[in-house]
Amino acid sequence: MLAALAGPVRTPAPPLPTAAAGAADPLGDDAQLALYACYELHYRGFAGVADDWEWQPDLLRLRQALEERFLAALRAAVPGGADAAGALDALLAEPPGATGVSHRLHRHGTWEQAREFLAHRSLYQLKEADPQAWLIPRLTGQAKASLVAVEFDEYGAGRGERVHARLFADAMSAAGLDPAYGRYLDHAPAATLATVNLMSLLGLRRSLRGAMAGHFAALEITSSPGAQRLAAAFGRLGAAAACVRFFTEHIGADAVHEQLMRRDVVGGLLDREPGQAAAVVFGVQATTYLEDRWAARVLADWDAGRTSLRRPLEAPGRPEGAGGPPTGPG
């Protein structure tokens, strides 16, 4: 498929592995990379790939086949239900002894692991809130107005230097990473790509508007506590101010966004369309499932003393703001 994208757009397209998509592991490397490439055509595209591939019908058929397998795997993996309020409430309290990636970095993560975290997250954070923007035209009234208010903050409240994607790029630069958009795509395992592909899948399908609302609410509810831990982690490691600033920006902002998403966006959607409750629950549960799956993959690699990426990053050096060694327990 990737080879076909490098060529001219024509219909019918050069042979695409549409039939093979039905047998591919929907959460495996091949399927997730193919999906990511298809979705990226709706964002900034790829150098050397014609823009008209975005709506090439044969490629859309391949994407649909991959999406259906991905959706089926997610629906089989989560319990479902229609209690949207309960699904969101469950995200408010962390279980005792929680051991996620932000907890690990906060307690005793190394500088190498902190940089890997940034590389993983760059696949989404460098286009932060773009997938969720597709939900705007699918809402009305207060739900639309409140979602736009959240997105306004994500895009820097009118200030280009405060756009969250820009702040993340600044953090990457300060950590000695390349902030170029898509730079670490080849480093990202399927578990990382799946968390981003879910956003694109939900955003691009109007039929999944309730799931997208649930997904975005889940992100905002869980963001602030994680951002607090990560700000402390990067501070402990002696990182430059730009690394810490990205996370401190999210501590207060996402605490406000949580309320807007729960009360006005999800609540407003369900007031108008109560039949979307099950979709909201699916969006919450699928987001949690893929994030937990990603965290388990990353922590297992770190526990084994190996990189959590498909290939190691360049030598990390020292944090820009460090006064002491960048690695070791804290």
- Measured CA to CA, the distance from residue 62 to residue 95 in angstroms comes to 40
Q: What is the pLDDT of residues 196-239, one digit of tens each?
A: 999 999 999 999 999 999 999 999 999 989 999 999 999 999 99
- Measured CA to CA, the distance from residue 33 to residue 197 in angstroms comes to 9
Which CATH superfamily is 84-303 part of?
Answer: Heme oxygenase-like (1.20.910.10)
Which is more confident, 123 or 254? 123
Q: Please give the single-letter amino acid code of residue 104.
A: R
What one-character-per-residue DSSP string does 34-100 give?
Answer: HHHHHHHTTTT--TTS-GGGGG-HHHHHHHHHHHHHHHHHHHHHS---S-HHHHHHTTTSPPTT---
Q: What is the pLDDT of residues 144-157, one digit of tens each?
A: 999 999 999 999 99
- Measured CA to CA, the distance from residue 314 to residue 294 in angstroms comes to 22
Q: Taking residues 114-131, report their average pLDDT.
A: 98
Q: What is the pLDDT of residue 99?
A: 85
| Mean pLDDT for the chain overall | 93
3-state secondary structure of 269: helix
Q: Is 50 exceeded by the pLDDT of residue 330?
A: no
Polymer length of the chain: 330
Q: What is the pLDDT of residues 155-191, one digit of tens each?
A: 999 999 999 999 999 999 999 999 999 999 999 999 9
User: Quick one: tokens of 207?
Assistant: 């039929």
Q: Is 70 exceeded by the pLDDT of residue 90?
A: yes
Percent with pLDDT over 90 in the chain: 83
- Measured CA to CA, the distance from residue 25 to residue 267 in angstroms comes to 36
Q: What is the pLDDT of residue 17?
A: 86
pLDDT tier for residue 137 given thresholds of 50, 70 and 90: very high
pLDDT tier for residue 325 given thresholds of 50, 70 and 90: very low
> What's the whole-model pTM score?
0.93
Q: What is the pLDDT of residue 317?
A: 62
Q: Is 90 exceeded by the pLDDT of residue 142?
A: yes
Q: What is the pLDDT of residues 230-249, one digit of tens each?
A: 999 999 999 999 999 999 99
Q: Taking residues 247-270, report their average pLDDT.
A: 90
Q: What is the pLDDT of residue 60?
A: 96
Q: What is the pLDDT of residue 323?
A: 43
Q: Taking residues 252-264, report their average pLDDT.
A: 85
Q: What is the pLDDT of residue 321?
A: 58
Q: Please give the single-letter amino acid code of residue 55.
A: W
Residue 159 makes CB contacts below 8 A (sequence gap 6+) with none
CATH 1.20.910.10 range(s) for the chain read 84-303
Select the highest-mean-pLDDT range: 20-24, 105-109, 255-259. 105-109
pLDDT tier for residue 322 given thresholds of 50, 70 and 90: low
Phi then psi for residue 16, to 5 deg, are -115, 150
Q: What is the pLDDT of residues 28-52, one digit of tens each?
A: 999 999 999 999 999 999 999 999 9
